[in-house]
Amino acid sequence: MNDARGGRPMAGETDIGGLAAEFPGWTIELVQEPPVLRASRDMAPPLVIAAGSPAELRTLLDEADRLDCRRATHALAEILRGHGVTAQVYGQAVIAESSRSIRRTIVAGRGLYSWTSGVPIGAISNVAGAAERVLCGLGES
């Protein structure tokens, strides 16, 4: 959207692009009446978040991401345990130890599982696929 001052972006528009890049999987839009930023997603669980400013929306999206990642770390740990791996959850991290005593830490953030080195493992929406890659990293598959 452009304002009446010669095609410049309206306030908040550049923030929308930054938020969309920072929170993949979310559709972020400026709703005019009343002026509010809205973020929505179709992935499970579906969710709509509204806020009065980009900073407020970022805070709410951060919290949604934390909750999603915590659920995902518990789901990953369950699958790993089913394969005989010792898996302990600490917030958004899983410490996994194989039967060969190989220990790895997996963290979840912004919709992704990653090794602590920063190398991505996979999307938190694909827990089974990520678990398979973790098992390979532990020498269990």
Model pTM score: 0.80
Say how far apart CA 44 and CA 128 lie, in whole Å.
15
Say how far apart CA 87 and CA 39 lie, in whole Å.
33
Give Cβ neighbours of residue 37 (< 8 Å, ≥ 6 apart).
Answer: 12, 15, 16, 19, 28, 29, 30, 31, 50, 51, 52, 53, 54, 56, 57
Q: What is the pLDDT of residues 45-82, one digit of tens each?
A: 788 999 998 999 999 999 999 999 999 999 999 999 99
Residue of 128, 3, 20 lying closest to 72 (CA atoms): 128
